[in-house]
A and B are shown apart, each in its own frame.
Chain A
């Protein structure tokens, strides 16, 4: 069966520090991968998605970036964190080739607090 893992689960970082959140999917090949952010008291906002290795699409301009160095690995990064980057970050995947029809499967989430 397929599983998705994110880490770290919780992170407290000072303003201006770098960030790296990692997401790995197991049990499937060539998944579509997504990063969402859930700010306090708000819904979920799509940040990035990827349909293949090295292919990243950004939904909103910001100081975050994403990379997909391997088929089932998706990394969210920042060179210098802002207070507004605080939130709950969720990685998700779905089956390649079924865009537009199926549900996304979410990881456990990573809670980032920027102080």
Chain B
């Protein structure tokens, strides 16, 4: 079945550092790929998405490119802020079900 594997944290960074969270997937067909973010005590919010190969999703300075050849959807941000501290989930959707990775906790220190 479909599955998502993402880099497990926790990840601790200083403000203005570069952030990368690796995400790879296994799926049949051509799934849509997503990154969700969960701030402390809150539900999940969609951060960005890509629906086909080579699409780049971007939002709030974050980017991720749908790489079919490497089955990857790595999340990147060039300069993180303290407000980016959260749990980040990579997710895949091939049919009715949105399958999530385990989540990566990111802490940004001032």
Binding site for B on A (CB under 8 A): 6, 32, 34, 42-44, 46, 49, 51, 59, 90, 92, 99-109
Tally of contacts, chain A with chain B, CB under 8 A:
54
> Which residues of chain B are within 8 angstroms of A108 by Cβ–Cβ distance?
42-43
- Cross-chain contact B98 with A42 (CB below 8 angstroms): no
Q: Among A49, A51, A101, which residue has the most Cβ atoms of chain B within 10 A?
A: A101
> How far, in whole Å, are A109 and B45 apart by their CA atoms in the complex?
12
Q: Mostly helix, strand, loop or mixed at chain B's interface? A: strand
Query: Of residues 55 to 110 in B, which have CB atoms within 8 Å of A's CB atoms?
Result: 89, 93-103
- Cross-chain contact B96 with A43 (CB below 8 angstroms): no
Asked, given contacts A100-B94, A103-B49, whether A43 binds B43 with beta carbons under 8 Å apart, the answer is no
Contact residue among A44, A46, A107 (Cβ-Cβ distance under 8 Å from B89) = A44
- Cross-chain contact A46 with B98 (CB below 8 angstroms): yes
Binding site for A on B (CB under 8 A): 32, 34, 36, 42-46, 49, 51, 89, 93-103
Contact residue among A42, A44, A49 (Cβ-Cβ distance under 8 Å from B96) = A49
> Which residues of chain B are within 8 angstroms of A99 by Cβ–Cβ distance?
95-96
25 contacts between A and B (CB under 8 A): A32-B96, A42-B102, A43-B89, A43-B102, A44-B44, A46-B98, A46-B99, A49-B96, A59-B97, A92-B44, A99-B95, A99-B96, A100-B96, A101-B32, A102-B93, A103-B32, A103-B34, A103-B46, A103-B93, A106-B43, A106-B44, A106-B45, A108-B42, A108-B43, A109-B43
Given contact pairs A43-B103, A44-B89, A103-B34, enumerate 9 new A-B contacts (beta carbons under 8 Å).
A34-B98, A42-B102, A43-B102, A46-B99, A90-B43, A92-B98, A99-B96, A101-B93, A102-B93
